Chain A
C-alpha cells in the first residue's frame, strides 16, 4: 500500500515480478493441491474425532527442564545468572540502536537496509516462531524495555533504589488488554496500510516511538506496566505463550505453598520484584509472564525453573477466561488472517475500486482503513453469532460475555498456527540479500534487488516450506478442537459438559476460520519487499 501511489480503474497486477510504484514486486505460488488436500483431509478427521463427547486427554503433565540429564545443569546455570541476561539485553539494545541509525540515515531501499530487513523479515517473523521454542522469552531481552530501564532506573538489570519514576498504580480502567489491542490494531495499520515494512525511515521512527512509550509508562507507573498492559508485542507473545510447550514455573509447588517471604513477587535487595505482579506459587497461566527470570534469581530455594508441558495444555486447562483477553485473542485471529489477505493479488484491485468509489487517493489510507475495519469486524461478528447460537442451545444458562470469553480461547491456536505459517513464507522468501545487508547495513550505494536476486535459491526447499505450513495449520486446528473439547466438558458454574449439538456452532466457526486460513495459504502471495 505504501507504494500504491498510482490509482487507476480495473486491472489488478499479477505475474512474477512487475513494477509497483517504482519497485519490483514478487509473487509466489501458494500451497499446491496435494498439500492443501492433505490438510483438508486431516482437518476433517480431527473434526470427526473431536465431535466425540468427553474432555479428551490433553493433560497437565510437565517436566522440569533443569532436571534433565546433560542440558539440565546448563539450563539452571543460564536461568540463574544475571550476566547472561544482561549480555543478551545489551546485544538486543545494540541491534536496536543500529536499526534506528540505519533506518534514519541509511539507503531507503527496503531490501538494502538493515532496519527493514532485520525488523520485519527476521525479528517480527522470528519472534512469533520463537514462542514455539522459548515461550515469551523475547520480552526478557526486549530492547525498548531495556532502554526505558536504563533511562528511568539507570540500570539495565536489577532493582533500582532511586528510580526516576512516580511509581503510580495503573488506573483500574487501564488494567486490561484493551490498550494492547488498540496498539496492535494501530501497528497493523502502520504495517499494512502505511507500509512501514517497506520504509526504513518509518521503521526507525516506530522504534523511537516504542522507546518513548515504554519510558513514559515506566516513569509514571510502578513495575513494568508497559509490558503488562500496553505493549502489543508483549501481549501477543503472552497470549501465544499459553500454547507454548515451555514456561517458567515452580519446581516443587509445595515449597511455594510453604513460602512466607515471596521473593518472586517482592524481589530482593538486588533483584527487582516481579514486573507484572505475579506470585510464582499461584502462577497458572503464562499470559502476563515476561520470562525475565527475576523470580528464578530471587528465589532463595532455587525453586523456579523452565518447565516443558504438552502443547496447548495451559490454554485448555488453566487460562482464566476474561472479556478483554477474549477480544485480544479475536483481534489476533482477525488481524493475522487480514495480514495474509492484504498480500493476495486481488486485494490491490479491491482497494483501487473502493478508492475510486470513495474518491480516495495517495496512499489510499481511507480505503485501507475501511477494508481493515471490515476484515476485523467480520470474523468477530461471526464468532459473536456462533456464541449467540450456543447460548440459545444452552438455554441461556450463561451470559453472552461469559461464553464469549470461554470460547475465544480455542480460537487462539488458529491465530498462532496461521501466524507461524504466514511468517515462515516471509522468512524464507524475503530473506534474499540479507548477507549483503549484514555486510552493508546502511546500504551505501546499493541498488534495488534485481529479479535474479529475488528469485535466487531459497534457503529452505519449497516442498519443506509447504510441508511445514500444512503441518502448522493442521496442528493449530487440532489444538483448537482439543481446547474446545476441554472447555466444553466443564462449563461453569457446575462443570457440566456440553452436548455435541451445543458445541456445534463453535466447532463450525473453528472449521470456517481454519479453512479460510488454509485457503489464504493456497493463494499466490505478493511479497512486501
Chain B
C-alpha cells in the first residue's frame, strides 16, 4: 500500500513539470527546416516534397511561424518527373478554413494567380485572424487538372499541450469524485444521526 502511494506521488512529480511547460509546435505533415532559404531572413516553417501525378512538387512557407496581420509567403515549385523540366504555366492559389468539422466554413478565397520567376511561384499572404487554414495550389498540365492542398497555421498553437489537458482532465475527474464522495459521507452521517436521535 505504502509502495503504491509512493509510486503515485512519483508519477505526479514526474508529470507535473511537463504539463506546465511550454507548448510544443508540431507538424504532422512535412518536415520543419531551420536553415535559411533564398532571400528570406526567417526560416521556412515547413518544406514539403511530394509527387502528384507527373509532377514532383515542393513548397515552402515563410516565415517560420506566420502571425495574424503579418505578411508571409509561399514558394512553390513543380518539376516534371519524366524530364525534370520545371512547370511554366500559371498557378492559382486559394485559401480556405481547414479542419474537418468546420460547418461554418467560409467559401474559399482566391489569393492570386502567379507566373514563375526562375521556376519559382511566389504567393504573398496576410491573414487577419489566427487559425488553421488550407492553401491550395491549382494548375493544369497536359490537359490534367492538379490541385495540391497544404495546411497553414496562423498564430500560436494552443497554449496547453496534450499532457496538460490529460492531467487536467484526470484531476477534474478525481477532484469531482472526491467532492461527491465527501457529500455522500456527510449525508450518510446526517441520516445516521437522524435515525439514532429518532430511536
Contact = CB atoms under 8 A, between A and B. Distances in A.
A185 interface: no
A6 B148 contact: yes
Interface in B134-171: 134, 136, 144-151, 161-163, 165-166, 169-170
Contact of B174 (A152, A208, A365): A152
A8 B52 contact: yes
Contact of B29 (A3, A13, A219): A3
B57 interface: yes
Contacts of A19: 49-51, 56
A6 B49 CA distance: 10
Given A18-B51, A22-B29, A104-B161, 9 more contacts: A7-B147, A8-B144, A19-B49, A154-B8, A155-B1, A166-B180, A202-B28, A208-B165, A362-B151
A151 B170 contact: yes
9 contacts: A5-B50, A6-B52, A6-B149, A8-B144, A11-B54, A22-B49, A104-B161, A156-B4, A208-B162
B191 interface: no
A362 B7 CA distance: 44
B61 to A, nearest CB: 13
Contacts of B163: 100, 104, 208
Interface stretch (A210-218, A261-269, A485-493): A210-218
Interface in A358-394: 361-363, 365-366
> Which of under 10, 10 to 19, 20 to 34, or 35 or more describes the interface residues of A?
35 or more
A165 interface: yes
Interface string A330-366: 0000000000000000000000000000000111011
Interface of B: 1, 4-5, 7-8, 11, 24, 26-31, 48-54, 56-57, 98, 100, 134, 136, 144-151, 161-163, 165-166, 169-170, 173-174, 177-178, 180-181
Contact of B166 (A20, A105, A152, A211): A211
A299 interface: no
A5 B149 contact: yes
Most chain B CB atoms below 10 A, which of A3, A6, A219: A6
Q: Which 8 A-B pairs have the closest CB atoms?
A: A155-B4, A208-B166, A19-B51, A6-B52, A361-B149, A8-B53, A219-B177, A22-B48
Given A219-B174, A362-B134, A164 B147 contact: no
Contact of A201 (B26, B53, B169, B181): B26
B162 A22 contact: no
A6 B149 CA distance: 6
A3 B50 CA distance: 9
A20 B50 contact: yes
A9 interface: yes
A192 interface: no
A22 to B, nearest CB: 5
A449 to B, nearest CB: 14
B57 A6 contact: yes
Given A22-B31, A104-B162, A150-B7, A219 B173 contact: yes
Interface in A161-219: 164-166, 195, 199, 201-202, 204-205, 208-209, 211-212, 215-216, 219
A83 to B, nearest CB: 11
B51 A164 contact: no
Contacts of B134: 361-362
Contact of B24 (A105, A151, A211): A105
A23 B118 CA distance: 26
Contacts of A195: 28
Contacts of A8: 52-53, 144-148
B4 A7 contact: no
A254 B186 CA distance: 46
Contacts of A105: 24
B136 A361 contact: yes
A236 interface: no
Contacts of A211: 166, 170
A2 interface: yes
B50 A2 contact: no
B169 to A, nearest CB: 5
A7 B8 contact: no
Nearest to A148: B170
Q: Which of A2, A204, A219, A366 has the most CB of B within 10 A?
A: A219
A481 B151 CA distance: 50
Contacts of B57: 6
A212 B170 contact: yes
Contacts of A151: 8, 170, 174
B177 A166 contact: yes
A199 B28 contact: yes
A198 B148 CA distance: 20
B187 to A, nearest CB: 14
B7 A156 contact: yes
Contacts of A72: none
B149 A7 contact: yes
A11 B4 CA distance: 58
A26 interface: no
Given A151-B174, A361-B136, A22 B24 contact: no
A205 to B, nearest CB: 5
A60 interface: no
Nearest to B21: A105
Contacts of B54: 11
Contacts of A216: 169, 173
Contact of A361 (B48, B147, B165, B181): B147
